[in-house]
Amino acid sequence: MRNFKLMSMAFLSLVLVITSCKKEEDVEPADNNSTLKKGEVSLSRETEYGEDWVYYSFENNAEVEVSDHLTSLDWDLAFNRYNVRTNGGESGLGQAAVYDAGEIDFSSLAEAPEADYMQDDTIRIVKAFTGQGVEWMTSTGNDVFKGCVDLEYGNQGPVFTTNNHIYVVKTAKGYYAKLWVKSFYSDEGESGFINFKYHYQSAEGRELE
């Protein structure tokens, strides 16, 4: 009788071990790249012509208030109509710069390039529209983004389209993100609202997928 109990206990233990191993095999593997943040952004408001910029932080995934963009590291990108500036070069103290990967599939760009990034410089932006035409002013921004939003005049007035290029951004703190400017319209169809999809690598490394 005692031998039977011992054999039963041994068999039960073996069943438990086999069951436990089976459960571990069925577990889905965890995402090892948990530092990769993904999202889509729609600006909260339309920007005016002139020096009216909306500042954005990948780290916070939010628009941020900036009192002096030249001395703050709290922002990565800024938007003024169809102009874009980054926190680097002539626009800020950060390490930000941009690389244009061209019109490719968003998911096909799995890693940020090592070189060929461009920092901000002096650019011209529209200050106002007057009775005499367009009044221009000098500002700072990144010409790599020039053409990400294009303006055409049709029978129904101005139409804004995007070039569907994928851009890689080195952030103010030296991390990497890729973004795709998807639209220049709000959900209600009002122009002036940039929408973009992004993957942001929040740690050291260039992996973007």
User: Does an H or E element contain 6, and which?
Assistant: helix 2-26
What pLDDT does 157 receive?
A: 81
pLDDT, tens digit (0-9, with 9 covering 90-100), for 47-76: 999 999 999 999 999 999 999 999 999 999
Q: How far apart are CA 175 and CA 172, in angstroms?
A: 8
Q: How far apart are CA 186 and CA 188, in angstroms?
A: 5
> What confidence category does residue 126 fall into, taking pLDDT thresholds of 50, 70 and 90?
very high
- Please list, in sequence order, all residues whose beta carbon lies within 8 angstroms of the beta carbon of residue 156, skipping any fewer than 6 positions away: none
Residue 167: exposure state from Cβ atoms within 10 A (0-12, 13-18, ≥19): buried
Q: What is the pTM of this model?
A: 0.82
Which one-letter DSSP state was computed for residue 207?
A: B
> What confidence category does residue 32 fall into, taking pLDDT thresholds of 50, 70 and 90?
low
Alpha carbons within 13 angstroms on the beta-carbon side of residue 78 total: 29
Q: What are phi and psi of 51, to 5 degrees?
A: -85, 60
The closest alpha carbon to 184, from 175, 176, 174, 195, belongs to 195
Give the lowest-confidence range in 88-102, 120-134, 151-165.
151-165
Greater pLDDT, 170 or 18: 170
Mean pLDDT in the chain? Answer: 87
Region of 109 (left: φ > 0; alpha: ψ -120 to 50; beta: rest) is: beta
Q: Are 16 and 173 in contact (CB under 8 A)?
A: no
What pLDDT does 154 receive?
A: 78
What pLDDT does 31 receive?
A: 57
Give the count of beta carbons closer than 10 Å to the beta carbon of residue 57: 18
SS3 107: helix
SS3 53: coil
Q: Does the pLDDT at position 136 exceed 70?
A: yes
Instruction: Give the angle subtended at the CA of 117 by the CAs of 45 and 148, to the nearest 5°.
Output: 35
The dihedral sign for the CA sequence 91, 165, 200, 108: negative
Q: 3-state DSSP: the chain helix, strand, coil percent, rounded to 5? A: 15, 40, 45
Greater pLDDT, 33 or 100: 100
